[in-house]
Amino acid sequence: MLLEHIEFQDRILAMARNLSLVSDDECFSSSEVAVNLGITDQEVLCALARLEETDWVVRFESDWSIPATGKTRWVVMEHARLTIGKRYEVLAIENDLYRILDDSDDPVLYDPSCFKIIDDSRPSFWICRTVEDGVLYCEPPEWARDCFFEKYHDGVESVRDQFWKDLRKHYPFTWSERLKQR
């Protein structure tokens, strides 16, 4: 699967970005967005809940058990380790998220809303399974063992070596793009 990173276009998110740029704490509230867009605070809160589910915004709160209100401060999450317009190959699908080798050479999960699909064909070597609630997982068989990427990110050398070996073997596009960056 081949994707192109896109800038998520949403008028509420765009306004939130603008407000964050002029704010001393780089945050915004739903009330500020509502006033600037001429819509209700409740409409903004509903949209922010959706944006929060897809990691575009997060609450800037110490206690997330408290329901969000018009005064709740939010932060816009920038997917800074991806380049707008750049093509990325999907290395795996986990919990309906795409695992991408980002610009810092880190295999990270991203929400599909960050991308436009260029080629939706899945590699023939992937093992795909659907688990509870219809959640999809697809990956090379070498990575299908328990906690592969947790071990990778914990720095387990043998797992890291396996990842880079498999990346070179299974993903020539990503491997060549990686070499171009160096």
Task: Name the nearest CA neighbour of 53 among 115, 111, 12, 116.
Answer: 111
pLDDT digits (tens, 9 = 90+) for 74-123: 888 765 577 878 899 999 999 888 999 988 888 988 888 778 899 999 99
Hey, what domains does the chain have and what are their CATH numbers? Answer: 8-76 (1.10.10.10), 87-181 (no CATH)
pLDDT at 40 over 60: yes
Q: Please give the Cα distance from 111 to 98 (Å, whole number).
A: 6
111, 122 Cβ separation under 8 angstroms: no
Chain centroid offset of residue 68 CA: 22
Confidence band of 54 (pLDDT split at 50, 70, 90): low
pLDDT digits (tens, 9 = 90+) for 148-166: 999 999 999 999 999 999 9
